[in-house]
Structure 1
Amino acid sequence: MRTFLSLTSLLLRGFFSACCLWSAVAMAAGDGMLWKVQAGNGTVSYLFGTIHVDDPRVTTLAEPVIAALESAQSFMMEVLPSNDVSPYYMQGSLAQLLTEAELEQVYAAADFHGLPRDMALRMKPWLLSMVFDLPVSQSPYTLDVQLYLQAQRAGKAVEALETPQEHFSALESIKLEEQLQILRSVLKRSQEQKEKDFELLIQAYLSGDLDKVAALDSELTADDLPAGLWEKLRVKLLDERNVRMAERIAAAADRQPVFVAVGAAHLPGEGGVIDLLNRSGFNVSPVK
């Protein structure tokens, strides 16, 4: 499901790397995605919109992003990397839930991604949908992970905007049959189409246009899902989490300079993190 490229956690790649041993462009990632967040007391923090992939075109950071990270006392991201894989496995097996034809598609996709078939059958359908909808992993280090490691190396305090339980609750709220709908929609799409859509998202991100990223993300996902299911996902994955994350960013940014990395689709529009921070008394402005 394409929307997860910018809505879900880098934990997906960390899990995939641990279990499976798994040309910068002229415009470096970060142009248009970095925002200055000034509190009423004058404290300056930064908000950076990310995309949770390992493509080298987005993991090459612009100088203003590097400088903003260096200036902060602490670093915040959606959820911290973890070795706990329990949220990813289901009770039972997909072998009892899919047709023979669908299982053959799962096996082919698992082989393509270097994922053991027995592991694929035990993974929750929402996770398998994410894995199958992405290009083959090039590295375990997504943009978010690189920022996290850089902050650690610089000795900065590292915090999460959500607990693992909060982070996964949105996905866990999706009924099994709805998860299977998402998986089936991904299985129907060709690898060529997946790669084409992925490239559209990368180019939108590199353009620095937050509204374009959010609109494309929504459009690509909504095309494949029943309207009711997409609306439910949007509320759970975006709207509800935006409120929680904005509250925690505000509390941290009132105390000290902080660098916050969060999926770009969470930032724009009414009810987005930028709007919520402005309404909380912060002055949020783009870094040119």
Structure 2
Amino acid sequence: MKSGVIVLLSVCLAGWLGLAHADNNAAPAATAQAAAVKRGTLYRVRHLGNTTYLFGTIHVGKPAFFPLEDEVTRALARAKKLVLEIDIRKPEPFQLALHKHGTYPVADAVDRHLSPDTLAQLRTALDDAGIPYEDVRHLKPWLLANMLVGLGLERSGYLRSHGIEVFLLSLADKQAKDVHELESAEYQMSLFDSMPDAMQEQYLRENLAELGDGNALKKAESLIDAWANANGDAVEAFMRDSLLEKTTSGDFMQRVLLDKRNPEMASKIEDLLREDETAFVGVGLLHMVGETGVPTLLRQRGYEVEKLY
């Protein structure tokens, strides 16, 4: 299955750890010995003389990923504005959305929504992660799953504070660029909260299983490596494999997090192309690939879409 680890790498969820939001403002520093190699994928979209750059990101990283390749930083320098899925520097919208969509009322708790077997698996995973159950009993299953896989990534050295958006935001600040959002924390979290109880429980069970057997990290590292080496073939193969899997997590990622949002993102990028200002748009890597990816949708709508690498 394509677990919540892949969701967190490919879809920008504000504060996905739930309990650790404070590191968002720590911009990654480029190490002196780091080579500026091609990472991710970069497109140039044109319409009636206007240009938008479209860059595929992941939302965690390591210091060795920076600086980004010169073609990316030059494209951002040319842009008047930086546009991301959400502005991860804003904690207040995240906290409001978290409370609304990710937590139960005081009189309710997750044990009332899980089978005894799933609850036992959750308690074991929380113990392994060093998290007291009482501290998180009011969190919904989808948020608990994302929190645990996020912690797994951090233990493996993939930090949200070194995510690509953080680096792009640091450059935008230095260049005094406007920053805009394609979506909001409210919208992103509402998608997860749209899952009924039974689906949330299965989402949690699948992710706990992949955390337990180590497959979650293996798949995460595979996708991160494909991004870090600009290996589009590997990303496309990953997506093809994902479509063959019949799991709650994989279906939710494809049907809701990608197929629903990609046309919405494409429409908002169309709006940017009608403005007489160059924009640089960074979105999760998996929004960029396949027949329903944002570049393909824009090409189908009549825009000039050029893959720079």
**TM class by smaller structure:** 0.7 to 0.9
1:192 to 214, 220, 226: 214
Q: Cα deviations across residues 128-182 of structure 1 (Å, max 9, x unaligned)? A: 2223234342544222232223323321111111133332332222112101101
Task: Tell whether the 8 Å contact from 1:210 to 1:267 is kept in structure 2 after alignment.
Answer: no
State the distance in 1 between where 2:272 and 2:23 align.
36
1:35 corresponds to 2:32: no
| 2:288 and 2:295 in contact (8 A); partners too | yes
Judge conservation of contact 1:3–1:220 (CA < 8 Å) in 2.
no
Comparing 89-98 with 155-164, greater Cα deviation is found at 89-98
**1:56-205 equivalences in 2 (<5 Å):** 56-58=63-65, 60-81=67-88, 82-83=90-91, 84=95, 85-86=98-99, 87-91=101-105, 92-99=108-115, 102-113=118-129, 115-134=131-150, 135-137=152-154, 138=157, 139-141=159-161, 142-189=163-210, 190=212, 192-205=214-227
Deviates more, 1:171-180 or 1:24-33: 24-33
CA–CA distance in structure 2, aligned partners of residues 115 and 196 of structure 1: 23
For residue 61 of structure 1, what is the amino acid of its counterpart?
A: L
Report if aligned partners of 1:80, 1:159 keep a CA contact under 8 Å in 2.
Answer: yes
Question: What amino acid maps onto 2:102 in structure 1?
Answer: Y
Q: Distance in 1 between matches of 2:240 and 2:125?
A: 24
Q: 1:9 aligns with which of 7, 12, 15?
A: 12
Kindly tell me: are residues 264 and 60 of structure 1, through their superposed partners in 2, closer, same or farther at Cα, counting changes over 3 Å? same
Aligned partner of 2:269 among 217, 226, 249 = 249
Q: How much has 1:268 moved relative to structure 2?
A: 1.7
Rounded Cα–Cα distance in structure 2 between residues aligned with 1:232 and 1:32: 23
- Could you tell me how far 1:195 is from its partner in structure 2? 2.0
Deviation at 1:36, TM superposition (A): 1.4
Question: C-alpha separation between the residues in 1 aligned to 2:130 and 2:273?
Answer: 42
How far residue 286 of structure 1 moved from its aligned partner, in angstroms, is 1.9
Q: Deviations over 1:190-248 (max 9, x none)?
A: 2633222221111222232345325425636964725xx74354221111211111111
Q: Secondary structure at the match of 2:176?
A: coil
- The 1-side partners of 2:116 and 2:15 are apart by 27
C-alpha distance in 2 between matches for 1:112 and 1:19: 23
Amino acid in the other structure paired with 1:62? E
Q: In 1, distance between residues paired with 2:144 and 2:59? A: 16
* Aligned residue among 37, 44, 52 for 2:51: 44
TM-score by length of 2: 0.79
Q: 8 Å contact 1:37–1:44 — kept in the other structure?
A: yes
Equivalent residues of 2:102, 2:139 under 8 A apart? yes
Closer, same or farther: CA 30–11 of 1 in aligned 2, 3 Å: farther
Q: In 2 relative to 1, CA 105–201 (structure 1 residues): closer, same or farther, beyond 3 Å?
A: same
- Equivalent in the alignment of 2:254: 234
Deviates more, 1:112-121 or 1:231-240: 112-121
TM-score w.r.t. length of structure 1: 0.84
Q: Which moved more, 1:126-135 or 1:173-182?
A: 126-135
Seen in structure 2, the aligned counterparts of structure 1 residues 95 and 232 have a Cα distance that, compared at 3 Å, is closer
Deviations 1:85-116 (A, max 9, x none): 32332342222334555445434433554545
Gaps of 5+ in 2: none
- Per-residue CA distance 1:38-69 (angstroms, 9 max, x = gap): 222x2222100011223345454222111111
Secondary structure, aligned partner of 1:122? coil
1:287, distance to aligned residue in structure 2 (A): 1.9
Change (3 A) 1:232 1:140: closer
**Structure 1 residue matching 2:71: 3-state secondary structure:** helix
Matched AA of 1:127: L
Percent identity of paired positions between Structure 1 and Structure 2: 27
